């Protein structure tokens, strides 16, 4: 397995200059259940003003601690969660945010999600044949029994479950964790998507088989020219699996760019903190000292009442007065590397956002204007 280097990234960018899936200014607030209907409404401010672009044939790692909003972003991109605000674009066109089954199905034909837990994402009462043939029929890729059978066998071969005949009639409880996750990946591929969103796809697997599953996803990304979003809390592994890395903290995107730059030359203090948990003696902080010496202070804050300004300021050893009042704008650091931090330049164009409280009535921005939010989870077709 080799490290993805800058020249590969640049060559891919030249080959695929346009994102296939793009999200701009995503926001997600979850209303908290309250027994007293007259009490002030509270929300979990899970994702705030987050943008992301995914390119064909390229992997983007989205990293951060638990509770940073990574999974929420993936579920918004998959349209499992509604958007509180923001816009999705597919092939440059705004995505219709209707809840009609036909609209959702048309979207999920192109954008598929692989869940973290292979144990609960497969229905225990159905066998492998059912799990793989259903999306083939739903998305119209196979009609006759013979076609379905051929494609199910091809999918099993694609995810290296061979000989396919040995797996096709098995039930989830007869498979290992790694085999189940391969079935989950094959089920996503059955839709023939262009975008694959993988939410911590190996975190529940034994260490010994994680690398096999990750290498499988990378091979499929290259063979199928998939735009792959790889969600992980292991920032050190991102360099090996993704051309680009994005770092999220408490619902805000704080740093991003080519993985080599973000991981070898991290700029944002939170990225440095994350990397300090994965020591590398060759990696140095801005003061020339090893990142292993950075102190780990505090924990991710409550997102019901998140800190104002830069949400990292209660933990940041470099926090300044302005960090408490304003979220810094984006500063471009060169080579596609950027960060939101007042330590670099003037913090870009400062954002006036000071988030303390959700509006009393939340809105979803869609093609048809504003609609009432619907938190109902949609079945992952
Ligand atoms: Fe620290 Fe301020 Fe930068 Fe936030 S903006 S990471 S608080 S220096």
State the pLDDT at residue 286.
55
Residue 376 has pLDDT above 60, yes or no: no
Whether residue 95 sits in one domain with residue 13:
yes
Which residue has its alpha carbon closest to ligand 1 atom 3?
341
Q: What is the CATH number of the domain that holds 87?
A: 3.40.50.300
Q: State the Rg of the chain over Cα.
A: 21
> Could you tell me the pLDDT band of residue 128, with boundaries at 50, 70 and 90?
very high
Instruction: Mark 24-52 as b/e (b = at least 16 C-beta within 10 Å).
Output: eebbbbbeeeeeeeeeeebbbbbbbbbeb
Q: Is the CB of 52 under 6 A from ligand 1?
A: no
Ligand 1 contacts CB of residue 309 (under 6 A) = no
How many residues in total does the chain contain? 381
Tell me, using a 6 A CB cutoff, whether residue 338 lines ligand 1: no
CA distance linking residue 199 with residue 78, whole number of Å: 11
SS3 185: helix
Quick check: is 55 in a domain? yes
Predicted confidence (pLDDT) at residue 38 exceeds the cutoff of 80: no
Ligand 1 centroid to Cα of residue 347, in Å, is: 9
151/204 same-domain check:
no
User: What was the pLDDT predicted at 234?
Assistant: 87
Q: How many domains does the chain have?
A: 2
Please check whether residue 15 lies inside any domain of the structure: yes
Our answer on whether the CB atom of 273 is closer than 6 Å to any ligand 1 atom is no
DSSP state of 104: H
341 Cβ inside 6 Å of ligand 1: yes
Is the minimum distance from the CB of 185 to ligand 1 under 6 angstroms?
no
The ligand 1 atom at the shortest distance from the C-alpha of residue 269 is: 6
Give the pLDDT confidence score for residue 40 in this predicted structure: 76
- Which of 189, 207, 234 corresponds to the end of one domain? 189
- Its pTM stands at 0.82
pLDDT attached to residue 334: 92
Domain extent at residue 342: 2-33+42-110+193-351
Is residue 303 predicted with pLDDT exceeding 60? Answer: yes
The pLDDT of residue 192 is 95
Does residue 249 share a domain with residue 167?
A: no
Tell which wins on pLDDT, 159 or 286.
Answer: 159
Segment 135-163, tens digit of pLDDT: 999 999 998 999 999 999 999 999 999 99
Whether 300 shows a pLDDT value over 60: the answer reads yes
- Can you tell me which atom of ligand 1 is nearest the CA of 311? 4
Residue 73 Cα, ligand 1 centroid: separation in angstroms?
Answer: 23
310 Cβ inside 6 Å of ligand 1: yes
Residue 324 Cβ contacting ligand 1 at under 6 Å: no
Q: Counting atoms of ligand 1 from 1, which one is nearest the CA of 342?
A: 5
Per-residue model confidence (pLDDT) at position 116: 83
pLDDT band at 298 (very low <50, low <70, confident <90, very high): confident
For the Cβ of 250 lying below 6 angstroms from any atom of ligand 1, the answer is no
Vertex 94, ends 90 and 99: CA angle to 5°? 95
Q: Whose alpha carbon is nearest atom 7 of ligand 1? A: 313
Q: How far is CA 27 from CA 224, 293, 362, 368, 371, in A?
A: 31, 34, 11, 18, 15
Please tell me the distance between residue 232's alpha carbon and the centre of ligand 1 in angstroms.
23
pLDDT score of 282: 58
145 and 235 within one domain = no
Mean residue pLDDT across the chain: 83
Decide whether any atom of ligand 1 lies within 6 Å of the 266 Cβ: no
Residue 143 CB less than 6 A away from ligand 1: no
pLDDT at 297: 63
Note whether 148 and 281 are same-domain residues. no
Instruction: Indicate whether 130 and 227 sit together in one domain.
Output: no
């Amino acid at each position: 397995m080799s490290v993805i280097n800058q020249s590969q990234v640049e060559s891919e960018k030249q080959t695929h200059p346009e994102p296939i899936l793009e999200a701009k200014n995503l926001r997600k607030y979850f209303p908290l259940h309250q027994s007293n209907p007259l009490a002030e409404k509270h929300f979990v401010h899970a994702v705030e003003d987050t943008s992301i672009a995914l390119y064909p044939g390229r992997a983007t790692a989205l990293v951060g601690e638990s509770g940073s909003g990574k999974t929420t972003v993936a579920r918004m991109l998959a349209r499992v969660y509604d958007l509180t605000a923001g816009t999705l674009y597919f092939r440059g066109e705004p995505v219709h945010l209707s809840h009609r089954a036909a609209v959702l199905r048309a979207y999920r034909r192109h954008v598929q999600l692989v869940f973290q837990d292979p144990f609960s994402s497969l229905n225990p009462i159905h066998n492998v044949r059912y799990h793989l043939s259903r999306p083939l029929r739903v998305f119209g890729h196979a009609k006759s029994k013979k076609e379905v059978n051929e494609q199910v066998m091809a999918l099993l071969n694609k995810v290296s479950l061979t000989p396919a005949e040995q797996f096709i009639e098995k039930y989830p409880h007869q498979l290992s964790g790694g085999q189940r996750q391969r079935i989950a990946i094959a089920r996503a591929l059955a839709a023939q998507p262009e975008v694959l969103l993988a939410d911590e796809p190996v975190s529940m697997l034994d260490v010994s088989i994680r690398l096999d599953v990750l290498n499988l996803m990378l091979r499929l990304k290259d063979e199928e020219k998939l735009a792959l979003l790889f969600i992980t809390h292991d920032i050190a592994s991102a360099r090996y699996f993704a051309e680009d890395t994005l770092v999220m903290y408490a619902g805000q995107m704080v740093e991003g760019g080519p993985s080599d730059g973000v991981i070898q030359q991290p700029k944002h203090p939170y990225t440095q903190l994350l990397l300090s948990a994965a020591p590398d003696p060759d990696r140095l902080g801005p003061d020339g000292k090893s990142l292993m010496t950075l102190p780990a202070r505090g924990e991710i804050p409550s997102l019901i009442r998140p800190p104002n300004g830069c949400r990292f300021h209660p933990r940041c050893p470099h926090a300044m007065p302005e960090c408490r009042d304003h979220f810094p704008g984006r500063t471009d650091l060169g080579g596609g590397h950027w960060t939101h931090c007042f330590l670099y330049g003037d913090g870009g164009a400062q954002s006036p956002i000071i988030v303390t409280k959700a509006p009393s009535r939340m809105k979803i921005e869609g093609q048809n204007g504003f609609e009432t939010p619907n938190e109902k989870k949609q079945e992952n077709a």
